[in-house]
Amino acid sequence: MEPYDAFDAIDEFAAAVSAFGCLQGDLADPATARLAHHEVEELIEERGRELLRLLFQGHLDLRARREREQPRTTAVVTGADGLVRPHRETGHHRELACVFGTVTVERCAWRQKGLPSVHPTDRASLPAGRHSHGLRRLAVAEAVRGSYDQAKASIERRCGKVLGKRQAEHLVTEAARDIDDFYQHQIPLPATAGTLLVLQFDGKGIVMRPEALRPSTLKAHRAARRAMRTRLAPGEKPHRKRMATLACVFDADPAHRRPHDIIAPPDGRSRERTPRPGPKASAKWLTGSVVHPPEHTIAAAFDQAEARDPHHLRPWVVLVDGARHQLDLIHAEAGRRRIRVHVLLDIVHVSEYLWTAAHAFHPPGTADAEAWVANHLITILHGQAVRVAAEITEQAGRARLRGAKREAADACVGYLTGHLDQLGYDTALAAGWPIATGAIEGACRHLIGDRLDITGARWGLAGAEAVLKLRALNDNGDFNAYWTFHLAREHERLYPTPEQHSYQLMA
């Protein structure tokens, strides 16, 4: 930056200097000394924000004066159409809401008859809308953390009344538009050939407005006939949710274990040996979508995994909850890319089916039920799921189970026999692979449950997608890098050929 005479800028900052002098005088006033500390703190916060706004306004006014005083012969301004605008017109103003309050930006318009005006100084990353990039970033940070009402209140406490609720919703949606492109340009850190590459998938419903539901769900929602007017009867569904698909990709070093490291035997563990810990996730990456179908999210996860292991040298372990459609999509994607994946069923889901079946034979909460589950689960962890299914079927026949109890036993048997190719836990434990979907289950709770599933929330499609992607971005620790990328892309959209001084109409 070229040096300039500091006295040249005195007039523009006179209001800020005066405000600082007034604040300094008030703080030195004996009457202020009688105020409580928190009252002085509030005084400085309120007056200090106005001082910062005046400093920002002074800087903008100084820029405007220098542009007005610039000789016309030193600048050749062209628009995005490549045509020259030879005539300069001063006095064009626009308001800009920022983190300090609202300021006024003055700049010159360069014109030509029959052509739209251009404003060269808008190239200093001035946004197209009313809100500054700093305010946009603050709005995104607050809105993805809590409700929009909470975000609006938090911004008003800090910045004054500069942003409405609907405006915050729009800013969040716009802020998420470059996330997919950002991850396509990001290069993950490399890992050794022995490091596990783990992929996990799951789905969770989000309560949507009627117009944002999928056609089949909307049809069921409109056709639903409730047994009671004031509440849902047992088994009834309101058909208000749209399923979001989430994916998690992470690296992990193998951690070899045995079945008794996963679950204690019925007679308890020996104190001589503590359970071995499982693999620890590192470089975790999350993504999800409520707009796109599941195959889109699965493909995105495979893209991330291939970026980490482009030559397919590492072991690929895929953990799922057993949804057949999801399994078909995973196998189809792996086949299309010619990747060998080891698909495992989440051991927690298996145990839940066993617990349901156990209550068909033993009263809930008893030691007999716990021992029944432990024995069968250890057998499954040894790779003998077929044996467990046969034993449960035989026991159900001997006990002559009927009704709901027989259905519970048969459901467990059907779950085991229907997923035998995903129950190779003996191989997984020996190789040191993870066998539970804790990472993606936690992501469902954090990304969706803690924000998109708050009480009373009803989402539109664009808003839900933006919040979901931004929360995943935050969880990945990539927000700062993304925001730099997003601002660069926003600048390119507003000024597509900056090297040719192409400008677009901003106001």
Identify which has the larger pLDDT, 212 or 248.
248
What pLDDT is recorded for position 114? 87
pLDDT bin (cut points 50, 70, 90) of residue 235 is low
Domain ranges of the chain: 193-446
What pLDDT is recorded for position 503? 41
What pLDDT is recorded for position 505? 40
β partners of residue 343 = 318
How far is residue 119's CA from residue 503's CA, in Å, rounded to a whole number?
Answer: 7
Statement: residue 8 has pLDDT above 70: no
What pLDDT is recorded for position 334? 96
Q: Taking the CA of residue 152 as centre, how many other CA atoms within 13 Å lie in the half-sphere pointing to its CB?
A: 12
Report long-range pairs for 64-68 (Cβ below 8 Å, ≥24 apart).
Answer: 64/105, 64/106, 64/107, 64/121, 65/12, 67/107, 67/108, 67/120, 67/121, 68/108
Q: Which amino acid is at 310?
A: P
- How confident is the model over 149-170, as a mean pLDDT? 92
pTM of the model: 0.86
Q: Is the dihedral of CA 484, 485, 490, 494 positive or negative?
A: positive
- How confident is the model over 314-319, as a mean pLDDT? 96
DSSP string, 220-249: HHHH---SSSSSPPTT-----EEEEEEEEE
What pLDDT is recorded for position 502? 42
What pLDDT is recorded for position 231? 65
Statement: residue 1 has pLDDT above 70: no
DSSP string, 129-171: SSB-HHHHHHHHHHHTTS-HHHHHHHHHHHH-S---HHHHHHH
Identify which has the larger pLDDT, 275 or 480.
480
- How confident is the model over 241-261, as a mean pLDDT? 94
- b/e per residue, 234-271, with b = 16+ CB within 10 A? eeeeebbbbebbbbbbbbbebbebebebbbeeeeeeee
The pLDDT tens digits for 394-445 are 999 999 999 999 999 999 999 999 999 999 999 999 999 999 999 999 999 9
Longest CA–CA span in the chain (Å) reads 100
Q: Taking the CA of residue 340 as centre, how many other CA atoms within 13 Å lie in the half-sphere pointing to its CB?
A: 5
What pLDDT is recorded for position 77? 82
pLDDT bin (cut points 50, 70, 90) of residue 233 is low
Share of the chain above pLDDT 70, in %: 90
Of 337, 331, 379, 334, nearest to 354 (Cα)? 379
Of 395, 329, 326, 303, nearest to 358 (Cα)? 395
For residue 271, the SS3 value is: coil
What pLDDT is recorded for position 232? 59
What pLDDT is recorded for position 215? 83
Average pLDDT, the chain: 89
Identify which has the larger pLDDT, 91 or 167.
167
β partners of residue 203 = 245
- How confident is the model over 227-244, as a mean pLDDT? 70
How far is residue 465's CA from residue 173's CA, in Å, rounded to a whole number?
Answer: 8
User: How many secondary structure helices (H) and strands (E) does the chain include?
Assistant: 19, 10
The pLDDT tens digits for 200-225 are 999 999 999 988 888 888 777 777 66
Of 416, 352, 345, nearest to 384 (Cα)? 416
Is residue 273 exposed (0-12), middle (13-18) or buried (19+ Cβ within 10 Å)?
Answer: exposed
What pLDDT is recorded for position 507? 40
What pLDDT is recorded for position 225? 62
Statement: residue 500 has pLDDT above 50: no
What pLDDT is recorded for position 224? 66
The pLDDT tens digits for 319-349 are 998 889 999 999 999 999 999 999 999 999 9
DSSP code of residue 84: B
Statement: residue 504 has pLDDT above 50: no
What pLDDT is recorded for position 506? 41
How far is residue 121's CA from residue 65's CA, in Å, rounded to a whole number?
Answer: 12
Share of the chain above pLDDT 90, in %: 70
Statement: residue 9 has pLDDT above 80: no
Statement: residue 133 has pLDDT above 60: yes
How far is residue 405's CA from residue 411's CA, in Å, rounded to a whole number?
Answer: 10
Statement: residue 139 has pLDDT above 90: yes
The pLDDT tens digits for 367-405 are 999 999 999 999 999 999 999 999 999 999 999 999 999
What pLDDT is recorded for position 189? 86
